Structure 1
């Protein structure tokens, strides 16, 4: 959206996403119609539109820009109650097919972590300077993570038992670009299916 100014928003919703009308979980389409459910837009677009955001449809401020929507929905309207008062629920909303294709991201990410050079010891950040390519450093618990995070200068904070930006306990960041550092939690390798690496 920041590169292609002809796109106003990206949606996870297709109004005609009922099971009998969809097939390809990877297909995306442009639309001139604002999707209304499960959408995102850039901050600059929000700054432009928020002062004149309509209280209800129709949305008339798109200035010729389009929306990206999937063939198969990534969001689902699961209730008859709400602002639409159940209008069209049984005919159009209830039979929506929700995407059930799993992304290849887990395998892709697991391969990145697997291929990274493992480093151990209290001076792991220093050792990372002398390794060509990506590195992974395992932390034992929150205090150990905080100690390692301080060495690199990244956020030490946890929220709800999860370090900031973590995925399956792994925090990834660039260090002396293009090198990546993977800080790996005590259970991360098992969760990624690479426990024996």
Structure 2
């Protein structure tokens, strides 16, 4: 969701397609980031449209809408504000068990745990992402669905953080 102020800034120049790439560009991002919901509140219902159908079969058609009503207006969502969210997120990523791709794909990990795959280079990220069936693209150094360089996803019931090493200093715009 966008605030009214952000829409007033971005709306007039919003592109007709590939908006998800466009919004990751530094001119739009302006050092802002967006956390994504664990359960999607939108879905793509046709091959044409987003990305002109390029990723529909492999990635988009598996997205399902949540069908359980949630009264968000009655919930305290302050934990999602940056000053609260970032320390918890960073602690969660750092505290997760570092594993290898062989551990993840070999069904050697206990369900319910948090696990971390670390990448150090663009090529290393792309190799790991492809082997897990994730989209592996970058825009201005930002990986798709990345927050602080980390992709959070579930793989065979495991919560995985595909994340940069501890010395990460920010996005590298040459990773595109």
TM category (shorter chain) comes to 0.3 to 0.5
TM-score, scaled relative to structure 2: 0.46
> Which one has the bigger strand percentage?
1
Q: Which has the larger radius of gyration?
A: 1
TM-score, scaled relative to structure 1: 0.42
